[in-house]
Structure 1
Amino acid sequence: MNRVAIVTGGTRGIGRAICDQLTADGFTVVANYAGNDEAARHCEETSGIKCYKWDVGDHAATMDGCARVAEEVGPIDIVVNNAGITRDGTLHKMSFDDWNDVMRINLGGCFNMSKACFPGMRERKWGRIVNIGSINGQAGQYGQVNYAAAKSGIHGFTKALAQEGARFGVTVNAIAPGYIDTDMVAAVPENVLEKIVAGIPVGRLGQAHEIARGVSFLCSEDAGFVTGSTMSINGGQHMY
């Protein structure tokens, strides 16, 4: 059976690696993105993956976007909630907009995408939702009260929705990546990054394809008995 998967934030970094992996697994994959048209064009040209533009933090836009994907590509069987942003700063300096934007996109995007796709999965008696959390949602991180709160919320969201989907053949799981070699991590000052790597037992940053392989398993038929779980892929940095 040809199943349709959508990956939010799917044109770059971890999201792009997930798209490529799920395509290799035989799924029909589409990528959602919010603003980088150049990256979306490159994704389409190099992979053939169709890219759809909308802000997952916008409820109406997400409902409309998922409906369009279902009409043009097919019913959505797999959702990977990967889209996320950072607006780092200590609470003393953090504005409400910095807080609200991260919560709206990182956590609100999970709600919006699930709200759009979960009913169809229930009806068809099969579905996979994989939410990308973070090591910093498990352990916390200085200067990231917004990001840590949103990612921690994703882990709780995952456990609650898993209980709703289980009897309908819909699994809901999360992956909590550690520090992965992406553009977001590359923006960290070199001296800070050196300290981060020094705290990772395996002695290196993770690679995007390593996260993608975890997603691949959770989306497979073999993972039908796995739901409500969080898979930590962090090089041993935080053993939760």
Structure 2
Amino acid sequence: MPDRINDRPMTRRHEGRTAVITGAAGGIGRAYAVRLAAEGAAVAVLDRADGAAVVKEIHDAGGRAIAVHVDLTDAASVAAAQEEVAEQLGAADILVNNAGIYPNQPFESITFEQWRAVFTLNVDALFHTAKAFVPGMRERGWGRIVNMTSNSVGMVIPGFSHYVSSKMAAIGLTRGLATDLADAGITVNAIAPSLVRTATTEAGPAELFEMVPQLQAIRRVQVPEDLTGMLSFLVSDAAAFVTGQTLFVDGGLIRS
């Protein structure tokens, strides 16, 4: 786990906080977990996959983390995960909804079951985690929620109708929660990346890695670490007056 960014030492800005990150066994979620742990947070790696490797990486660097197996599409499983986090790390201060799926297929071939599968993980799971973790944040009068959306909501690529629809819904939920939870000292924001190189995205259409960077102002493929600075800011005290926003961290593809 790195302790420096761009040759500058990391701060311990999240010391004493407990962060819950979904889909953190690999990819973007892993990068988030490593960054927040390096900055002092105790991290719960929530995933249906085995998060032991990420936990070991954090432990080896002197951080604190646990892996919690969870089915984010099931409210009872998420509630059980919340109890496990509270028992082992304390009540969650930070919730990062990173888990998601992004199948690519023409609209005509999408069945309703496939449509619902995308919404069940990309949207319904955000509802389940908020219901589970918000009460503790409200009780303490402080909380940070970050939902992952996508810059595809601003420039749709063919074959992603269900994915883009779900990510627009995530933005709507972000704005709604920001409004409903502000009185409790809880901020809610969304991060919209470009196409990020991970083991999962590399299994998709290879031509996207050639096409997408050419549309960005910064013409290289995005990697998970490009997102960690924005996340660290949004879940910090420095972002106390930032809520209901969707931040495009995409190399300037969406120039709004």
Q: TM-score, normalised by structure 1?
A: 0.94
Q: Please, which of 35, 40, 44 is the counterpart of residue 26 of structure 1?
A: 40
Residues 179-207 of structure 1, C-alpha deviations (whole Å, 9 max, x = no match): 11212332233334212222222111112
Moved over 6 A (4+): none
User: Match for residue 238 of structure 1?
Assistant: 254
1:4 and 2:15 matched: no
Once residues 46 and 22 of structure 2 are traced to their aligned partners in structure 1, the CA distance between those partners, rounded to angstroms, is: 5
Matches of 1:153 and 1:127 in 2, distance apart?
Answer: 22
Aligned residues: 237
2:71 corresponds, among 50, 55, 60, to 55
Deviation at 1:66, TM superposition (A): 0.9
For 1:30 and 1:204, the matched residues in 2 are separated by 31
In the alignment, structure 1 residue 90 sits paired with structure 2 residue 101: no
Show the counterpart of 1:204.
Answer: 220
Show the 5 A alignment for 1:47-196: 47-48=58-59, 49-196=65-212
Partners in 2 of 1:31 and 1:68 — Cα distance? 11
Preserved contact between residue 209 and residue 221 of structure 2 (Cα < 8 Å): no
- Counterpart in the other structure of 2:53: 42
Cα contact 1:125–1:170 (8 A) shared by 2: yes
Secondary structure at the counterpart of residue 171 of structure 1? strand
- The answer as to 2:28 corresponding to 1:17 is no
Q: Identity across aligned pairs (percent)?
A: 35
Within 1, Cα distance between the matches of 2:207 and 2:143?
43
Distance 1:87 1:97, change over 3 A: farther
1:69-113 CA distances to partner (integer Å, 9 max, x unpaired)? 112220011100000012221120012221111100111111110
Gaps of 5+ in 1: none
Contact preservation (8 Å) 1:81, 1:132: yes
For 2:121 and 2:23, locate their aligned partners in 1 and report how far apart those are by CA, in whole Å: 11
Gapped runs of 5+ residues in structure 2? 1-14, 60-64
State the structure with bigger RCO (CA 8 A, min sep 6), 1 or 2. Answer: 1
Q: CA deviation at 1:44?
A: 2.2
CA-based RMSD of the aligned residues comes to 1.4
Cα separation, 2, equivalents of 1:119 and 1:140? 36
Question: Retained in 2: the 8 A contact 1:141–1:148?
Answer: no
**Separation in 2, partners of 1:10, 1:208:** 12
TM-score (norm 2): 0.88
